[in-house]
Structure 1
Amino acid sequence: MIRSLLDTDLYKFTMMQAVLHRYPAAQVRYRFRCRSPGVDLARHIDTVSDAIDALCALRFTPDELEWLRGLRFIKPDFVDFLGLFRLDRRHVRLERSDDEQGGLSLVVEGPWLHTILFEVPLLAIVSEAWSVGEHGPADEAEGLRRLQAKVDRIDAAVGYEDCRITDFGTRRRYSQAWQDRLVPRLAELLGPKFAGTSNVDIARRHGLVPQGTMAHEWLQAHQALGPRLRDSQKAAFEAWAQEYRGDLGIALTDVIGLEAFLRDFDLYFCKLFDGMRHDSGDPFEWGERMLAHLEAMRIDPRTRTLVFSDGLDVEQVMRLYARFRGRCRTSFGIGTNLTNDTGPKALQIVLKMVACNGQPVAKLSDSPGKTMVDDEGYLRYLRQVFEVAQPAADRGDAPL
């Protein structure tokens, strides 16, 4: 299922490099969650376990390391480190869930530097074990038919010449073989409208642009690593800016909710970063709030990029592009609706950081049901510190 350690999202490497340079001793824990109800994942546990063993046997090849060395933002010492790197199975605990019928308990725990690359391939393994195990190999004819319909929809519309779409679909893909078949075809069909792929292996082998900056875990970890909890977002953005010195300047906005982000993302950060990424909550409302915030900070929104990446399909992309066209730069990351759209319904699965250096960390999502935490008391404290009200739809939810 995983044939290369590059078969992951670019932002895992950009964050990993920053961890190597800034927090090499940090200890973390990630926990798996399946949001799809009534799914019997446990029946595929042996397939998942065997694939994890195979993943941990992989090493970076000289050609892969040389390609990474050619990326402008990757530093030589990080590539040298990757030349010695391996994923260690002892950091992964996979069991049948005691709390959920047919569920899987999947926990990754250990040094952040040595566990950060587990998330995406583990999710891709679970997704493929389920998809292929339940439905057989991807129906390529149907998948390509659906892909062509999406491309035709965009091509037929007037005024979408500058619309840019990126593949963000590795973690919930139908299978490795299907994503590897689909992405080059998508690039061919979309032409200049295709911005690249988050999958580093596919980008390398097919001559595409790898795309990605930071993920939720970067900001979550700073809840334990920062100077104080209230300043954790600002500490995370500051550390990122120091690491990349103006490169990879897209800030993630929904780790503690949009209101908390806007309070922290002041004029300094508005000038320092090139744009912001949306990953939960209403994207239209978010976009309007971001443009208003930039204008309040005396920043011309047309000089900044809004990246949309939450559950997008082509129709949503077109609506968002129509709303914000000419008002700012836009980019759209489509995941599951590209790489797992061949007929069967895709799983909704995540593997999120829930602890760092022995302390709980959390993501306070702007979408009901996406909040993840191990410690309900910490969640209440986090809301209090950042003055974030608990959404009515989340009240009564048990901690993860």
Structure 2
Amino acid sequence: MIINSLLDTDLYKFSMMQVVLHQFPSAQVEYLFKCRTQGINLRPFIKEIREEIHHLCQLRFSDDELEYLRNLRFIKEDFVEFLGLFHLPERCITVSEAPEDGEINIQVKGSWLHTILFEIPVLAIVNEVYFRNTYPNMDFAEGRRRLKAKIDLVKNATDIADFKFADYGTRRRFSKEWHDEVVYTLMQHLPEQFVGTSNVWLAKKYNITPLGTMAHEYLQACQALGPRLRDSQVFALEKWAQEYRGDLGIALSDVYGLNAFLRDFDMFFCKLFDGARHDSGDPFEWGERLLQHYLNNRVDPRMKTLVFSDSLNFELALEIARRFKGRCKTSFGIGTNLTNDIGVPPLQIVMKMVGCNGQPVAKVSDEPSKTMSVDPEYLSYLRHVFDLPKG
């Protein structure tokens, strides 16, 4: 089977899940799957995907896995005790044919606390089922050649010796086997530049650092959980700070676009959070504006970290690193270009939260194709409340 450990997911699922346990244990949510790649027929794989999800829902955390989580500095004992009782509820997920030709529906609906761990393994399952059926004889030779070229590119970038990057590719990977090989190879050949992985299972396996803080769903859910919609971004950041007291201090900046983020990310948050993560829009413009925002709030940007994670390849990441060298700390999360660059077209698939407590929620990205909502009226209202341009 594809997923054999509940740790085979991204760290930010656990960091968000702990906040949900302590702050929002009764929240009810809905997630929907979407394949953004045109012309892909996933219907022939529905039975296989269902079988993999059934296996996923039988998994439990082992004592060894719980002990690993317990030893992460920001994980609290009551959360570990909860995980000791946890399993993914199969009744909360459905996989069916969609009305659109070739498309499938995957819907998750239920308690946020009990369904939050579905997203990443389900996306990994869909990817691997599709690729192992579509390209059954892949030998990875081309992938290894491309990976070596990336390693050589980083090694030759001697003008930015402090370049740091991490693997963010769990949901996008060609297969679990290839993901494992990529991480192991990077450990061996770029021990100074490769700083860790978002995948907790691989971090445990290879004794490297697991990385991640928050995802879009956390700020989206706060649209329904906060006191009023306009204050939902501030509410989300304050609740995060209450939970982690200065730890895990990278704020996500693009749930409402950069303009709205900077309006809310005032001097208090500039000083409190370690930095911010870029996930849509022009990375150079984003970085320049954020550095100026720090200066405007009397914060030295050289003490802050800008994390870039939007559709990166190594050429772009190195270019960004050169632009901001000496002006701030930079780090890069690279996904598809690491775990699904083996000579075949990768899939663009997502699974996003679309509802919380019976209310629609949405993400309004600086990249229009990343905006996601199932309710046009709510999306229009959200744009009005946050003074965003019409889509």
If the length of structure 2 is used for normalisation, what is the TM-score?
0.99
Query: Offset of 1:77 from its aligned partner?
Result: 0.5
The 5 Å alignment of 1:94-173 reads 94-98=95-99, 100-136=100-136, 138-173=138-173
For residues 354-369 of structure 1, the aligned pairs below 5 Å read: 354-369=354-369
Aligned residue number for residue 244 of structure 2:
244
* 1:182 CA drift (Å): 1.3
Percent same amino acid at aligned positions? 59
Q: Which residue of 2 aligns with 1:373?
A: 373
Matched, 1:267 2:271: no
> Aligned partners of 1:160 and 1:345: how far apart in 2?
31
Verify the 8 A CA contact 1:257 1:364 in the aligned structure 2: yes
For 1:205 and 1:155, the matched residues in 2 are separated by 25
Aligned length: 390
How many angstroms apart in 2 are the aligned matches of 1:214 and 1:162?
A: 25
Cα 1:146–1:19, aligned 2, differ >3 Å: closer, same or farther?
Answer: same
What amino acid is aligned across from residue 3 of structure 1 in structure 2?
N
1:225-284 CA deviation, whole Å, 9 max, x = no partner?
Answer: 001000000000000000000000000000011110000000010011000000000111
Cα distance in 2 between the residues matched to 1:41 and 1:380: 31
Structure 1 distance, partners of 2:137, 2:219, is: 37
SS in 1 for 2:280: coil
Mapped contact 1:2–1:55 kept (Cα < 8 A): yes
Show the counterpart of 2:38. Answer: 37
Equivalent residue, structure 2, for 1:398: none
Give the structure 2 partner of residue 307 of structure 1.
Answer: 307
Partners in 1 of 2:366 and 2:121 — Cα distance?
Answer: 26
Within-5 A mapping of 1:1-400: 1-98=2-99, 100-136=100-136, 138-391=138-391
Distance 2:345 2:228 in 1: 42
Aligned-partner SS, 2:368: coil
**SS across alignment from 1:107:** strand
> Alpha-carbon deviation of 1:138?
4.2
Letter in 2 for 1:94: V
Distance (whole Å) between structure 2 residues aligned to residue 34 and residue 114 of structure 1: 24
Report the residue type matching 1:44 in the other structure. Answer: F
Tell me, yes or no, if the aligned pair for 1:234 and 1:264 is still in contact at 8 Å.
yes
Change (3 A) 1:4 1:292: same
CA distance in 1, matches of 2:139, 2:127: 16
8 Å CA contact retained: 1:138, 1:178: no
**Structure 1 residue 221: Cα displacement:** 0.4
Whole-angstrom distance in 2 between the partners of 1:280 and 1:109:
27
Give, as a single letter, the amino acid of the residue that structure 2 aligns with 1:53: H
Deviations along 1:198-225, one digit per CA (max 9) or x if unpaired, are 0000000111100000000110000000
In 2, are the aligned partners of 1:340 and 1:346 still within 8 Å (CA)?
yes
Contact 1:311/1:335, CA 8 A, preserved across alignment? yes
Q: Could you say what the CA RMSD is over the residues aligned between the two structures, in angstroms? A: 0.8
Classify the secondary structure of the residue corresponding to 1:29: strand
Matched position secondary structure for 1:342: coil
Report deviation, 1:93. Answer: 1.1
Q: Is the 8 A contact 1:154 1:160 kept in 2?
A: no
Q: Secondary structure at the match of 1:144?
A: helix
1:38 partner SS: coil
Deviates more, 1:172-181 or 1:300-309: 172-181
- Provide the rounded CA distance (Å) in 1 between the counterparts of 2:166 and 2:206: 14
1:184, CA displacement in angstroms?
A: 1.2
Cα separation, partners in 2 of 1:315 and 1:77, compared to 1, 3 Å: same
1:348-385 deviations in Å (ceiling 9; x for gaps)? 00000000000000000110211111110000000000
Distance, in Å, in 2 between the alignment partners of 1:138 and 1:215 is: 32
| 1:132 Cα deviation after fit | 1.1
CA contact (8 A) 1:199 1:210 kept: yes
Give a deviation string over 1:53-97, Cα, whole Å, max 9, x none.
Answer: 010011100100001100000000000000000001110011011
Q: Distance in 1 between matches of 2:105 and 2:8?
A: 23
Q: What is the alpha-carbon distance in structure 2 between the residues aligned to residue 233 and residue 37 of structure 1?
A: 33
**C-alpha distance in structure 2 between counterparts of 1:380 and 1:107, whole Å:** 24
1:139, CA displacement in angstroms? 2.8
In structure 1, C-alpha distance between the alignment counterparts of 2:263 and 2:195, rounded to whole Å: 31
Runs of 4+, deviation exceeding 3 Å: none
Q: Secondary structure at the match of 1:159?
A: helix
Shift of 1:196: 0.2
CA displacement at 1:161 relative to structure 2: 1.1
**Deviation of 1:131 (Å):** 1.1
Distance 1:138 1:181 in 2: 14
Shift, 1:158, TM fit: 2.4
Aligned counterparts of 2:158 and 2:164: Cα–Cα separation in 1: 15
Structure 1 counterpart of 2:139, one-letter code: D
Question: Retained in 2: the 8 A contact 1:138–1:175?
Answer: no
Q: Which amino acid aligns with 1:344?
A: V
